[in-house]
Amino acid sequence: MSKLVITEVHGKVGLIRISRPEALNALNNEVVDGIGAAIDGFEADENIGCIVLTGNEKAFAAGADIGFMKDFDYMHAYKTDFITRNWERIKTTRKPVIAAVAGFALGGGCEMAMMCDMIFAADTAKFGQPEIRLGTMPGAGGTQRLPRAVGKAKAMDLCLTARMMDAAEAEKAGLVARIIPAEQLLDETLKAAATIAGFSLPVVMMIKESVNRAFESSLNEGLLFERRVFHSAFALEDQKEGMAAFVEKRKPAFRNC
């Protein structure tokens, strides 16, 4: 396991911390591979029901590592499948991932946060896609996920002017699920993650998959997908338990089956 990525288990929540403070958590291969390995571990661990990805108080991540990629040529980027090769592990996780963002989430850092299922932002968070300043463009989903989150106007504004957006603007625009005072960011995010991890894991995964489907399909196709998955939820023992517990006025004991 990389020293640049620290993992901790908090009850049923897997925490991944990017720890490269001297470079504002800039994302090089070691960091991204470390995050992928941590996700592999938590995905395989039946005890884990939710994952939190965070940085430190100054930066979630200030982007892809500029020094690392500055001399890439086209063939290197193409042959090594830069970004696709390792960054998208977050996207394929079936367990929910919450990004807890304090400080900078810029360029690839903002894109990595947007790969997560939701973003909780400290009041210190700053989001941006400043690649244009470096003579390049977002390449890990920024031009696609940002407009879906905040609309075309603001996405164009951020990608074309390189300006940063603070937490309040990001929440108002729909990029961020919650704003939390910086000193409480991790505790509050872990609390929300624990709530999620306390539910039936197969149901959590069904909901995540269905919400994500909304971004991949027409409304009717999405509704059909949801209906089929909803019907399949009646096959779960946890559905019997959850509804019986409600009727019997007691707490449900979910068994993830």
What residues numbered 50-79 form the site for ligand HXC, per CB under 6 A? 62-67
Choose the catalytic residue: 36, 131, 140, 142. Answer: 131
Nearest approach in angstroms of CB 171 to ligand HXC is 21
132 touches ligand HXC by CB under 6 A: no
**In the complex, minimum distance from the CB of residue 35 to ligand HXC, in angstroms, rounded to a whole number:** 13
Nearer to ligand HXC, 68 or 225 (CB): 68
Of 112, 176, 120, which is closest to residue 142 (Cα–Cα)? Answer: 112
- For residues 207 and 132, what is the distance between their CA atoms, to the nearest angstrom? 36
Asked about 108 being catalytic, the answer comes back as yes
Give whichever of 163 and 240 is closer to ligand HXC, judged by the CB atom: 163
Among 4, 5, 15, 26, binds ligand HXC (CB under 6 A): 26
CA atoms within a 13 Å half-sphere pointing along the CA-CB vector of 38: 29
In angstroms, the CA 130 to CA 159 distance is: 6
Tokens of 186: 């991790």
28 CB-near residues (< 8 Å, 6+ apart): 64, 65, 68
Identified catalytic residue from 26, 64, 121, 155:
64
Total Cβ atoms within 10 A of residue 92: 10
Going by C-alpha positions, the residue among 167, 163, 169 that lies closest to residue 180 is 167
Binding site for ligand HXC (CB under 6 A): 23-24, 26, 62-67, 83, 104, 106-108, 111, 130-131, 134, 138-140
- Residues assigned a catalytic role: 64, 108, 111, 131
